[in-house]
Chain A
Amino acid sequence: MKSNNLNIQTNKMRKIAIILALAIVPMVSWGQNAFDSFESEKDVTAVVVTKNMFKLLSKMDLNSSDPEAQEYLNMVDNLDNIKIFTTENPTVAKRMDAAVVKYVSDSKNLGELMRVNDKGQNIKFYSKEGKSDNFVSELLMHLDGNVDGKKTTVIMSITGNIDLKQISKLTSDLKVPGSEQLKNIDKNKTN
C-alpha cells in the first residue's frame, strides 16, 4: 500500500517535471539575441525574417532544373533567422556599437571573419564555426558609415547552417548594405 502510494507520487513528480521542462524550453529559446531590444526602439528600422519564411521559400523550386537555383534554395532552407537593425540616430548607433562589442566579447566561439574599410564604410564580419569549412552557424555583420549619403549603423545577424558561398546572394536580394563585401567572404576565409 505504501509503495503504491510512493509510486503515484513519483509518477506525479515525473509529470510535473515534464510539464516544467516543456514550459521552460520556449522561454529559453526566446530572447536569445543580444540585439532584439533594438527592434522596439524609435529611430531603428528592423527587418526580421523567420525560419517559417525560409521553409516556405525553399518549397518554391522556381527553376528546379537550374543547379544554381537549387543550391540557393538549399542554402535558404538551412537558415534559422535573419535580423537586420538599422539606425541613423547617432545616440542609438553608439549603443548599437557597444552592444556588438559586448556580444562579441561575451560569445566564446564568435571570431572575426573579415574587416573591410572601404568607401566610407567600416564593416566587420564575425562568425561562429559551423559543420564544415565553408559553413558557419552564425554570421554577424556590423557596419558603420555612409549608406546612401547618410551616416548609418547596421547590425545584421544570421543564424542557421550558413553557406558562406551562397549567403551574399540572399543579402543582396534583401538589399542589405555590405552585401558587396560579403561576396568575397569565403575567399577571405580560406586564405
Chain B
Amino acid sequence: MIMKIASTILLFLAAVALVSCNDKSLQKYLVEKQDDPRFVKVDVPASMLEGNSSAFSPEEKEILQTIKKVNVVAYPFKDGDTAQFELEKKELQSILDQDQYKELTRIKSNDWNATLKYTGEEDAIDEVIVFASDNQRGFAVFRLLGENMRPDQMIKLMNSENKNNLDFSQLENLFNGFKD
C-alpha cells in the first residue's frame, strides 16, 4: 500500500520534473529567432566595442578580452499583437527561469519589469543577461557574453578614464529605434 502511494508520488514528481526540464538555452532560443522578422537583433563583437583600442592599458585590454560580444534581441510590441507577444514572452521567461540563470535582482513597476541574471560563477561570469519587458513597447534581452568575466575588473574598467573609448554607438542606435 505504502509502496503504491510512494510510487504514485514518484511518478508525479518525475512528470513534473520532465515538464519543467526543458533544457533549452537562451542561446538556442536566440538562434531560433535569428530569421524571425518580428524580432530586432543587434550583435556587437567585443572588438567593435574597443573604439580606439590603442588607448587602453595592457591591463584593461586583458579585461576587455574576457568580453566576447554584446547581443541584443528585442520584440517591439505592435497593436493587436497581444497573443503573440505574450506567447513569446512566456517562452523566454520559462527559459530564463532555469536554475543556470542565477537571478541577481528583479524590478517591477506598473507597466514594465526587468530582471538581471547571470550564468557562470561569482568570480567567473559567462553571461550577463537583462530581460526587460514593457506592456506598451515590447520586450528585450540584452546579453553580455564573455569568458570568466570578473565583476571587480568590470567595475574597474567602467570607472577607468578609458571608459569613453568604449564604443556603444551601435547599441544606442538600437535603443533609440526601440523608443520610437
Contacts and interface: CB of A to CB of B under 8 A. Distances in A.
Interface of A: 9, 12-13, 16, 19-20, 23, 39, 42-50, 52-53, 55-56, 59-62
B122 A46 contact: no
Contacts of B79: none
Contacts of A62: 152, 155
Contact of A13 (B6, B9, B103, B104): B6
Contact of B152 (A39, A52, A59): A59
A16 B106 contact: no
A50 B108 contact: no
Interface of B: 2-3, 6-7, 9-10, 13, 102-110, 116, 118, 122-123, 150-152, 155
Contacts of B110: 42-43, 45
Contact of A53 (B3, B13, B105): B105
B152 A61 contact: yes
Name the prevailing secondary structure of the B interface residues.
mixed
Quick one: which of A39, A43, A60 has the most chain B CB within 10 A?
A60
Given A20-B9, A20-B10, A55-B122, 15 more contacts: A9-B3, A16-B6, A16-B10, A23-B13, A42-B110, A43-B110, A45-B107, A47-B108, A50-B102, A53-B104, A56-B122, A59-B122, A59-B151, A60-B152, A60-B155
Given A59-B152, A61-B152, A48 B106 contact: yes
30 contacts: A16-B6, A16-B7, A16-B10, A19-B13, A39-B108, A42-B110, A43-B110, A44-B108, A45-B109, A46-B108, A47-B105, A47-B106, A47-B107, A47-B108, A49-B104, A49-B105, A50-B102, A50-B104, A52-B102, A52-B103, A52-B122, A53-B104, A53-B105, A55-B122, A56-B118, A56-B122, A59-B122, A59-B150, A59-B151, A60-B152
A152 B53 CA distance: 49
A46 B105 CA distance: 10
Contacts of B152: 59-62
Closest 4 CB pairs of A and B: A53-B104, A60-B152, A46-B108, A52-B102
